[in-house]
Amino acid sequence: MPQNVTRRRLIAGLPFVLAGCGAVASDPGSRDTAPRNASIYGRIKDPPFTISALDLAVIDPRVLRQEVPYDGNYAPGTVVVSIAEHRLYLIEDGRRALRFGVGVGRAEALNFRGSATIGRKVKWPSWTPTPNMIARIPKYAAYADGMRGGPNNPLGARALYLYRDAQDTNFRIHGTNEPSSIGKAVSSGCIRLFNHDIIYLYDRLAVGTSVIVQHNGIESS
């Protein structure tokens, strides 16, 4: 990858201007092994529910959690979502980042960009489809008054609610009951991760954590 690409700063559109991430790589310096993945994505007891192990034989390994090199300007602890790449990055110390595959919405995800903070966190969140979702997918009308949290809930095991200026943006980072959607633009909502990954982020990230959502890629391979 050319040096001028790996170190450039990317700008997201108005009204919010973002300093882009530097480049990360999927293979050089990554530290994942098959046994580690099996451990990370195994069966989880999460009372009152149990989360099934992922079938790693049918999942693209590129969307699994990886530690990768990072050369950019965001502070450790920042979460950066790249809509174009279908990836979420948790910036760490030592010029490293944790990279997660995500599923992105076909519509709603394209309406949000810029900076936010995690305003609240919820275990096994309830879900209420927006009017736009119901208009596009009429079967969602059955849940117009909300759907309880649980294994069949589209928000999965956890949800991180993004706020801006102390107001809920209605944009969420959440789990999923459709692991096959990770790495694709197939959801009708926001940013979704494997339940195993959203639980990891939920446990690690505090309310007030900075989140950057950008539509440009950050040149990972």
Supply 132's token pair: 């736009």
Structural Rg of the chain based on CA atoms: 17
Helix or strand run (H / E) with residue 19: none
Q: CB-based contacts of 14: which residues, under 8 Å, 6+ apart?
A: none
- Token pair, residue 146, equals 């909300």
Q: Which amino acid is at 137?
A: I
- Residue among 86, 174, 196, 215 flagged as catalytic: 174
Which residues face 168 on adjacent strands?
163
174 as an active site residue: the answer is yes
Asked if residue 193 lies in contact with residue 176, where contact means CB atoms within 8 angstroms, the answer is yes
Q: Which amino acid is at 98?
A: L
> Cα separation of 125 and 139, whole Å?
20
- From the list 181, 200, 201, the residue with the least C-alpha distance to 190 is 181
Instruction: Name the active-site residue from 21, 86, 190, 215.
Output: 190
Catalytic-residue membership of 215: no
Residues near 142 by Cβ (< 8 Å), separated by ≥ 6? none
CB atoms within 10 A of CB 144: 13
State the catalytic residues: 174, 190
